[in-house]
A and B are shown apart, each in its own frame.
Chain A
Amino acid sequence: MFAYVSRRLIQSIFVMLTVSLLAFAMFRFVGDPMAVMVGQETSIEDQERLREQLGLNDPVIQQYGRFITNMLTGEFGFSYRTRQPIGEMLLERAPATIELGIVSLLISLIVGIPAGIYTALRNDGFLSQTILITTLIGISIPTFVIGIFLIYLFGVQLGWLPTFGRGEVTEIGWWKSSFFSLKGLEALILPAITLGIYQLTLTMRLVRSEMQDVLNTDFIKFAVARGINYRSIHYHHALRNSMVPVITIIGLQFGGVIAFSIVTESVFQWPGMGLLFLESIRYVDIPVMAVYLVIIALVFVVINLIVDMLYFAIDPRVRLQPEAG
């Protein structure tokens, strides 16, 4: 257990170091930080003094060390564009993205897992085939087009749901939540479906193929031969053994949700972190890009760690193989 966990931890730290090196290189070498901070009329001496003050003349290694210390202590610096502290900007935007991500992940799991099980068990049924063809088309339609179609159908033609922004938010301390008002929930529906559909098709297809694989194994055949009823075989033996990969899916999907939230937030003008990142690219706001990169990488690494730990808890095969992984 200890060896397994510590090896995973070391790997994670290596990933974070690589990403932070990349972020630091962006921050330090893409465009001169000085040129952005000072105006035309700042004298050379003043510039030199500021350069010294900011430590831009120190050896690069030392600057990198300071960059990491700053990141660890939450000193993210200031945005070139708005001059606000980046930490504050992110904290203000994070709840919108997190709530959107959680709801769409829930949609994808609550619909995707049962649909996957159903299509695996009734492979040739009419409904199964319909579901499968629908998901094939779903994979080919880009997220933003799905969003636009939903806006056109439910927002413009039917006029049922709001199509941009968060509607009404309830403030709980600094956390602004959509969950506690009808208007907020209404505004959440279309973006969450848009973000969830692609993940849903992935979940469904993976659960289906995983379940089919397990159903073909010898122990299922043996269970059939023993005369155990099918209900028990399907939901007890097969489903349980298909669940390990499903945990990986959930972990991987979190990444997908974060990445595609950039697109969805842009379509629905959802004021989250993705929209902030997009604006920072459009205005070449390098510090915001660098910090976003580090934070996203951290989220990925933490999720992967949790997934690995869950493996350990759920699948005895991982526990019994000390060399695995």
Chain B
Amino acid sequence: MLEAWRRIKIENEFIYLFLNNRVAQLAALVAIVFILGALLAPLIAPSNPYDLSTFDILDSFTPPAWSEGGNPQFIIGTDDQGRDLLSSIMYGMRLSLIIGVLSVAFAAIFGTAIGVAAGYLGGRFDTIVMRIADVQLSLPAILTALLVDGIARGLLPREQHEDLLLVVLSLAIGLSLWVNFARTARASTFVERNKEYVQAAEIIGLHPIRIMLVVILPNILSPLLVIGTVDLAVAILLEATLSFLGVGVPPNQPSLGTLIRIGTEYIFSGEWWIVIFPSFALIILIISINILGDFFRAYLNPRLR
């Protein structure tokens, strides 16, 4: 057992690199703690910020436990409603992560499908799709996300919009990120298309859809994985920005961005913790995901090492 592990440690490049990269280990640790804390929030959070009966307005604006007037029950203090800030951050991060993962999944599926099809089929389809991608790439992601969100607001009646909010937000963010996946998938497919194994598959008469999905796709996954990691950070940032601007999730179900937005109302009156802790949580999450993304990139592209 131990012997086997020792061999893996030397022979498996990924594990070898990871064990020799302290920064990546730290980032992975932080990311795992954050993700677990967010996913298990309903089980382990001190209180439930969505449940009106669990918090008391009399506890509002309690500073962090270590400062004067703090209450050990609320380790990093409470907000204007008396909600425990730590619990709010855990639930908020849960929402941020869910929307982030959903929108990256949407962008990955949509973008990869279009990219592989464009790369494999070529011709007019390729020209048109890539021209559209170019147009969209020249618009910054935040602008696209805002526009899609605005259009969805116009198309859906108000109540329905609130019910579908998670989906609408993920769509808006996903639609602003698909271009990266499409361009990468197209470029990789272009390379693979002329290799012998693809020609062999064509000769034995496989259906083009089967060739794209079963033959080519598994061989171009690794660069897409890197984009997925980097885009997860971008998606979480976009969601936080939209929520901060007041067009994201509603205040009764705060994500990290909403918490920061609520917190900014109190920086002038001295309740600094309401804005500082959610901001730090967001920044640390983003930095650790970015470091992991860099690590994956370096692993897959030895030239960067």
A282 near B247: Cβ-Cβ < 8 Å: yes
CB of B131 closer than 8 Å to a CB of A: yes
CB of B18 closer than 8 Å to a CB of A: no
B241 near A148: Cβ-Cβ < 8 Å: no
A278 near B245: Cβ-Cβ < 8 Å: yes
Q: Which of B135, B143, B149, B270 contacts A15 (CB 8 A)?
A: B135
CB of B53 closer than 8 Å to a CB of A: no
Q: Which of A30, A137, A148 contacts B260 (CB 8 A)?
A: A148
Residues 111-145 of chain A, each 1 if its beta carbon lies under 8 Å from chain B, else 0: 00000000000000000000000000101111111
B282 near A304: Cβ-Cβ < 8 Å: no
Residues 151-177 of chain A, each 1 if its beta carbon lies under 8 Å from chain B, else 0: 110011000000000000000000000
A256 near B245: Cβ-Cβ < 8 Å: no
Q: Give Cα A143–Cα B282 distance, bound, in whole angstroms.
A: 12
A148 near B153: Cβ-Cβ < 8 Å: no
Known: A255-B140, A263-B241. A286 touches B286 (CB 8 A): no
A18 near B135: Cβ-Cβ < 8 Å: yes
CB of A31 closer than 8 Å to a CB of B: yes
Residues of A within 8 A of B61 (CB): none
Residues 282-295 of chain A, each 1 if its beta carbon lies under 8 Å from chain B, else 0: 10101001000100
Q: Give Cα A152–Cα B132 distance, bound, in whole angstroms.
A: 42
Q: Which residue of A lies closest to B275 (CB)?
A: A148
Q: Give Cα A245–Cα B248 distance, bound, in whole angstroms.
A: 36
B272 near A26: Cβ-Cβ < 8 Å: no
Q: Which residue of B lies closest to A266 (CB)?
A: B245
A281 near B146: Cβ-Cβ < 8 Å: yes
Q: Give Cα A30–Cα B142 distance, bound, in whole angstroms.
A: 21
Q: Which residue of A lies closest to B290 (CB)?
A: A140
Known: A148-B267, A256-B140, A259-B143. A278 touches B286 (CB 8 A): no
CB of B19 closer than 8 Å to a CB of A: no
A141 near B245: Cβ-Cβ < 8 Å: no
Residues 248-292 of chain B, each 1 if its beta carbon lies under 8 Å from chain A, else 0: 000000000000100110011010100110010011001100100
Q: Give Cα A144–Cα B279 distance, bound, in whole angstroms.
A: 10
Residues of A within 8 A of B240 (CB): 142, 144
Q: Could you tell me which residues of chain B, from 113 to 147, have a CB within 8 Å of some CB in chain A?
A: 131-132, 135, 138-140, 142-143, 146-147
Residues of B within 8 A of A281 (CB): 146, 149-150, 153, 247
A263 near B245: Cβ-Cβ < 8 Å: yes
Residues of A within 8 A of B150 (CB): 280-281, 284, 286, 289
SS of A interface (majority)? helix
Residues 237-275 of chain A, each 1 if its beta carbon lies under 8 Å from chain B, else 0: 000000000000000000110111011001100000000
Q: Which residue of A lies closest to B240 (CB)?
A: A142
CB of B155 closer than 8 Å to a CB of A: yes
Residues of A within 8 A of B276 (CB): 152
Known: A142-B241, A255-B139, A289-B147. A282 touches B283 (CB 8 A): no
A262 near B142: Cβ-Cβ < 8 Å: yes
CB of B154 closer than 8 Å to a CB of A: yes
CB of B208 closer than 8 Å to a CB of A: no
Q: Which residue of A lies closest to B289 (CB)?
A: A140
Residues of A within 8 A of B149 (CB): 281
Nearest CB of chain B from residue A151's CB, rounded to whole Å: 6
CB of A277 closer than 8 Å to a CB of B: yes
B268 near A156: Cβ-Cβ < 8 Å: yes
A286 near B154: Cβ-Cβ < 8 Å: yes
Residues of B within 8 A of A318 (CB): none
CB of A19 closer than 8 Å to a CB of B: yes
A262 near B146: Cβ-Cβ < 8 Å: yes
B140 near A145: Cβ-Cβ < 8 Å: no
CB of B237 closer than 8 Å to a CB of A: yes
Nearest CB of chain B from residue A258's CB, rounded to whole Å: 8
B139 near A300: Cβ-Cβ < 8 Å: yes
Q: Give Cα A286–Cα B155 distance, bound, in whole angstroms.
A: 11
B260 near A144: Cβ-Cβ < 8 Å: yes
CB of A297 closer than 8 Å to a CB of B: yes
B139 near A297: Cβ-Cβ < 8 Å: yes
Nearest CB of chain A from residue B114's CB, rounded to whole Å: 17
CB of B151 closer than 8 Å to a CB of A: yes
B272 near A284: Cβ-Cβ < 8 Å: no
User: Residues of B with Cβ closer than 8 Å to A?
Assistant: 131-132, 135, 138-140, 142-143, 146-147, 149-151, 153-155, 233, 237, 240-241, 244-247, 260, 263-264, 267-268, 270, 272, 275-276, 279, 282-283, 286-287, 290
25 residue pairs bridging A and B, Cβ less than 8 Å apart:
A18-B135, A30-B155, A140-B233, A142-B282, A144-B240, A144-B245, A145-B282, A148-B275, A148-B279, A151-B264, A152-B267, A152-B272, A156-B268, A255-B138, A259-B140, A263-B142, A263-B244, A267-B264, A281-B247, A284-B150, A289-B150, A289-B151, A296-B139, A297-B139, A300-B138
